[in-house]
Amino acid sequence: MELDELKNKWKALDEHVKAQDKKINQLTDQIISGKVKSPLDTLRRHCIIAAILVPLMLPFFFWVYDFVGLTCGESQKQLLYALTWLFVGFTFVREVYFVFDLKGINISKATAVESLQRTIRFRNHYKWGVTIDLIIGIVFLAVVFTSMNQMFMFGGIVGGIIGSLVGIKMYRFYNRTINNLEAALREWNEDS
């Protein structure tokens, strides 16, 4: 009789331990899911906000051109307008692409490895997008500096400095957030 009681208690204890292990695993998954979801949501939110705000740069640029009064030649004006459209258009398309690229990182439907691969691909797309924007911006500033309009050149210098500072801050923010996302995905992969 005592042996049967001991077996029953052992079985009950074993079931209790298994239930606790299951709860611990569920809590761990929730914590890791939160660690993954937080930077992912932050990146998505920033890309959506950028996609909304970037087109507003276009009227601002054209207002500045009108306010300053471009005194350069017609071909230089055309190049300046084309570069403005190219810069704003490319940046807008890039941000919209990033929104959809981040949408592909779906932790509820994909494995940690698949999500990590998508995150690394997003990082590469982000770096290429920033590099292309930087090249367009440098060409744009070169055209501004050859415009022979002192006020416009001063505005180009101030705009270049402000744009560079904002760009560096955003680049660091995105890089840090992507690193946090990758770290959470690696932790999720180790626990899986």
| 43 Cβ contact partners less than 8 Å away, ≥ 6 residues apart | 98, 102, 122, 174, 177, 178, 181
- CA separation (Å) from 163 to 14, 62, 99, 133, 139? 62, 17, 22, 11, 14
Q: Which residue do the tokens 């009681």 mark?
A: 5
pLDDT tens for residues 96-125?
Answer: 998 888 887 777 676 777 878 888 888 898
**Three-class SS state of 192:** coil
Average pLDDT of the chain?
Answer: 79
Hey, how many other C-beta atoms are within 10 angstroms of the C-beta on 182?
18
Which pLDDT belongs to residue 29?
57
> Rounded to two decimals, what is the model's pTM?
0.71
Contact 144, 152 (CB under 8 A): yes
